[in-house]
């Protein structure tokens, strides 16, 4: 029950951000509280795993709002409000490079385009592999989880501890890196 309530909370929060006005309000509140924005990280996402032909219009629309519209207006607000020399980091998914059955709707919505920024602001995406979180377990069978583990380094899922140092680097010393998708998945999507 706890996972379901967490999922419903995340869903409602993501959908609340589903308008340009709500993202403007979010950024304005951050500036009011902190004085300026140096680093903006978008970690909102919605996954749907099912055959392409079985996705309903309602399911698609909900996922599209979260993965595309929120991402688009997050970048738009970031362009206007992140301070000179700042950082914008978007979390994407390694599924962008590891095309697997039944993830087509999700992969398409997470592949929103990047825009180069003025004001010396870097923009990058971090694309974790399948992560050891309720987000993954809500969509996957135990067999699929074991497959993901067997396909990655150390035969395990991606852990948040694998991602945080990458985001930290991009937010601090990674000022020469921009316009990149960094796949952090233990080799899951290696060619």
Identify how many contiguous H helices and E strands the chain contains and give both numbers: 8, 4
Residue 189 lies in a domain: no
Residue 15 lies in a domain: yes
Could you list the residue range(s) of the whole structural domain that residue 113 is in? 2-184
Residue 191 lies in a domain: no
Residue 190 lies in a domain: no
124 pairs with which residues across the strands?
89
For the chain, which ranges sit under pLDDT 50? 1-11, 99, 104-116
Pairing mode, strands 181-184 and 37-42: unpaired
* 128-158: burial string, b at 16+ Cβ within 10 Å, e else: bbbbbeebbbebbeeebbeebbebbeeeebb
The CATH number linked to 134 is 3.40.50.720
pLDDT digits (tens, 9 = 90+) for 46-56: 777 777 788 89
The number of domains in the chain is: 1
87 pairs with which residues across the strands?
39, 122
Point out the residues that are catalytic.
106
Look up the pTM and report it.
0.67
pLDDT of 97 reads: 54
């Amino acid at each position: 029950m706890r996972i379901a309530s967490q999922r419903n909370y995340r869903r409602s929060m993501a959908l609340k951000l589903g308008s340009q006005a709500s993202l403007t309000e979010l950024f304005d509140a951050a500036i009011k509280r902190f004085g300026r924005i140096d680093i903006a990280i978008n970690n909102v996402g919605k996954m749907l795993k099912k055959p392409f032909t079985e996705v309903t219009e309602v399911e698609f629309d909900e996922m599209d709002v979260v993965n595309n519209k929120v991402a688009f207006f997050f970048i738009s607000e970031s362009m206007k409000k992140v301070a000179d020399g700042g950082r914008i980091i978007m979390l994407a998914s390694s599924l962008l490079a590891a095309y697997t059955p039944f993830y087509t709707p999700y992969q398409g919505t997470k592949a929103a385009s990047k825009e180069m920024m003025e004001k010396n602001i870097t923009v990058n995406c971090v694309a974790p592999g399948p992560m050891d979180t309720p987000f993954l377990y809500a969509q996957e069978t135990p067999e699929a989880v074991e497959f993901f583990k067997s396909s990655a380094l150390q035969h395990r899922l991606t852990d948040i501890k694998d991602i945080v140092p990458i985001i930290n680097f991009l937010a601090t010393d990674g000022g020469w890196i921009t316009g990149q998708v960094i796949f952090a998945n233990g080799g899951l999507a290696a060619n």
